[in-house]
Amino acid sequence: MRPNRLRELFAARQTALGGWCSINSPYAAELMGHSGFDAVVVDLQHGPLYLDAAVPMLQAISATGAMPMARCSANLFFEINKLLDAGAYGIVCPMIDTAEDARAFVSACRYPPAGTRSFGPTRGVLYGGDDYFKHANGTIVAYGMVETPQGLANLEAICAVEGLDGVFVGPSDLSLALGVSPTPRWRDSPLAETLAKILATTHAAGKMAGIFCVSVDFAVDMKRLGYDFVVLSNDAALLRGAAQQWVGALR
């Protein structure tokens, strides 16, 4: 089976760089895949796209050097199964608030006896290889998002769930959970201390820590801090930022 790039980099103690697709476009996904990222995530939670749009985007990423991943809209068994069957090599699941949430998420990602995923990897076999079923449980990565007061309170219990590969931080929702502006002020209290705590707790459990960053400075700081999977904004923000910069220069 094709190896998982995030697992390889984590084992080598190297940071994985991630791209993020919120634009409903296979072409945009393909462009992101050719931009040098180790993995590209198709966002079904906040991106204006659903399963029918996600499949061709995963196909487009699969034709590049980046590993295809997806963020599901919620902790939904059927959606997670469909995204994995469509060839996603990793799932980021929002709003993991309890160990029970984490166990349900992991179960949806793993074939029996480790979980309850149904067999039918239509594109998974095409991307992963003919021995997909034999190795899928140990290859696919499952990232649970901790971004609420309840999730923070249950962080250690969530990290202790067997089969959960990592914790992923959504800094805007995490900021709201801490009672501050959703525009992340990652160098200030209380967000700075919370990001460090999540990282330390995740690593103490032997798991990966990922984070979505809204700027290059934010991403550089999180890489230096030790986060294992650093996502640099999303396609829409990158497009808007480049357009504004060029228009501003010409004005």
Active site residues: 46
Centroid of chain to Cα 76: 16
Given a contact cutoff of 8 angstroms between Cβ atoms, the answer to whether 99 and 119 are in contact is: no
Residue with tokens 């910069």: 245
Q: For residue 93, which phi and psi values (nearest 5 degrees)?
A: -110, 125
Find the helix or strand (DSSP H, E) in which 85 lies.
Answer: helix 77-85
Find the helix or strand (DSSP H, E) in which 202 lies.
Answer: helix 191-204
Find the helix or strand (DSSP H, E) in which 51 lies.
Answer: helix 51-62
Given a contact cutoff of 8 angstroms between Cβ atoms, the answer to whether 167 and 143 are in contact is: yes
| Furthest CA-CA distance within the chain | 62
Given a contact cutoff of 8 angstroms between Cβ atoms, the answer to whether 27 and 48 are in contact is: no
Burial label for 185, CB within 10 Å (0-12, 13-18, 19+), is middle
Nearest to 203 by CA among 172, 177, 225: 225
